[in-house]
Structure 1
């Protein structure tokens, strides 16, 4: 993989990254991308009506055709309450109107923010998939079992999931080391 991207593991770096994004659409892109763990192709197609007034989102993923149900956290509900526009409008609307921003535009927004936040070099590459990987890493950090994360991300092996979310051998060792019996 030539352009491998990584999760933003440090909460401090993540917060700097979020603050470097323009409030509104650009910031919501990163926040909802991290909260939902969707591929960018699914995230960009979200419409305001799918989120506004809802407590969860049900959709069929484009890539695998798998149905996903995402329950909204309190921080997501707060973002959703700020959405303006018609139910048919895209959450991440292009300024050209009637269309969502492109993957390339989403990539630019995230990359520019990472550079402004001073975390780009530290992370070693950021892209649209960084949000999905950060979602997976946050689940892991919060004690969600890798096999469950594998299922949520629709991966075929735990090993693939561990590599995907950037769990290193040191982190695995530290996890085992922390167990007292």
Structure 2
């Protein structure tokens, strides 16, 4: 498994959002919900239209460390994407998947299923090539959310630890790529 990085530069994030919005509203919203919620790709792909009609998303994360007593998590939908999201879900039923594949599933021959992880990965890697980004994968969205939140306010570390289910602050800093930034700065600053 490759180690992926967050997208650190806000100008690049804004460029990606514009690039995706011009090509596919679905992919744009997938990217935005990922970088604004910190949800795992598996949780993003399981979202249904009815779950995003209000101001918040409430769900039990699929991959949780506490399977016996899973906690519901509640995430605000970033106000900057509300209008686009409302336009995207207009006319859709609440039980439809939010990020529906345009293809018929090969094995099951079913329609209306969400895009797969591999489709999400391909979309992100297309973006990475276009913006000359390295070490990008499906966890990049989650890590970007954490990195941007931490950089905006380092006091958010406890919030990030809870969100990522980390018990150690160093694990969280390592996960969002901040430890690497500190090491790079320290080595670059050596005489």
TM bin (shorter chain):
0.7 to 0.9
Residue in 2 that maps onto 1:152: 163
- Correspondence for 1:35: 36
CA RMSD, Structure 1 to Structure 2 (Å): 2.0
Gaps of 5+ in 1: 175-181
**Matched residue SS, 2:74:** strand
SS of the residue 1:69 aligns to: strand
**Structure-2 separation of matches of 1:131 and 1:33:** 5
Cα distance in 2 between the residues matched to 1:148 and 1:13: 25
Are 1:127 and 2:137 an aligned pair?
yes
Per the alignment, residue 97 of structure 2 pairs with 90
Q: Tell me: CA distance 1:13–1:149, structure 2 relative to 1, closer, same or farther (3 Å).
A: same
2:59 is equivalent to residue 48 of structure 1: no
Q: Is the 8 A contact 2:60 2:71 kept in 1?
A: yes
Q: Is the 8 A contact 1:17 1:119 kept in 2?
A: no
Alignment length (residue pairs): 168
Where do 1:106-117 residues align within 5 Å? 106-116=120-130
- Tell me how far apart the structure 2 counterparts of residues 43 and 103 of structure 1 sit (CA, whole Å): 10
TM-score when normalising by structure 1 = 0.85
**Structure 1 contact 111–127 (Cα < 8 Å) conserved:** yes
Distance 1:170 1:95, change over 3 A: closer
Aligned-partner Cα distance in 2 for 1:149–1:23: 30
- Give the equivalent residue in structure 2 for 1:16: 15
Ranges in structure 2 where 5+ consecutive residues have no aligned partner:
65-69, 104-110, 186-191
Structure 2 CA distance for aligned equivalents of residues 158 and 79 of structure 1? 35
Deviations 1:153-173, CA, capped at 9 Å, x for gaps: 22221111000001137659x
Distance 1:66 1:132 in 2: 19
When residues 150 and 20 of structure 1 are mapped into structure 2, their CA distance, relative to the original with a 3 A threshold, is same
1:93 match: secondary structure: coil
1:78 equivalent in structure 2: 83
Deviation (angstroms), 1:17: 2.0
- After TM superposition, the runs of 4+ consecutive aligned structure 1 residues lying more than 4 A away are 169-172
Check conservation: 2:38, 2:143, Cα contact below 8 A: yes
Pick the structure with greater CA Rg: 2
